[in-house]
Amino acid sequence: MQELSRVFENQVLVIALLACGIAQASKLVIHFAQHQKINFRVLVETGGMPSSHSALVAALATGVGQLRGWDSIEFAIASVFAAIVMYDAAGVRQAAGKQARILNQIIDELFQEGQEFNEDRLKELLGHTPFQVLVGLGLGIATSFLILPWF
């Protein structure tokens, strides 16, 4: 059990999780600013501004670069991993969300005459816009550069 507690001594992991937490918490603030009401669901939902996935992997790669060196194999691996996650967040998952929106519209049009349809609606907000991914990227990099020196 003592070995498990040492996981939180990993500076890069802590910074990455912190960046993700900051991104998720900022979604709550942004939602409140837009709608003047608190919606705690945004803390656990996918999508939205900023991308917490991007913040997480950007802070991870940046932290690895800071500690292991910008020319290290570890940084190369973390950077490629981050690029894949961010591409997926803005590309594949965004496209899946658009498809869900179209399918939900088709279902609405087919069953608007009062016929019952018992299936749940598809989740439409799955991915991020490229801007949301870039903001998450910036947040992750900034978190690592600002906080890692304090460890």
* The model's pTM: 0.77
Q: For 32-85, write each residue's pLDDT tens digit.
A: 998 899 988 888 877 788 999 999 999 999 999 999 999 999 999 999 999 999
**Under 8 Å between Cβ of 51 and 89:** yes
> Quick one: average pLDDT of 21-28?
93
pLDDT band at 101 (very low <50, low <70, confident <90, very high): confident
> What per-residue confidence (pLDDT) applies to 61?
98
The more confidently predicted of residues 73 and 4 is 73
> What per-residue confidence (pLDDT) applies to 121?
56
The fraction of the chain above a pLDDT of 70, given in percent, is 80
Tokens standing for residue 95: 């496209």
> What per-residue confidence (pLDDT) applies to 93?
62
Assign residue 69 a region (left: φ > 0; alpha: ψ between -120 and 50; beta: otherwise).
Answer: left
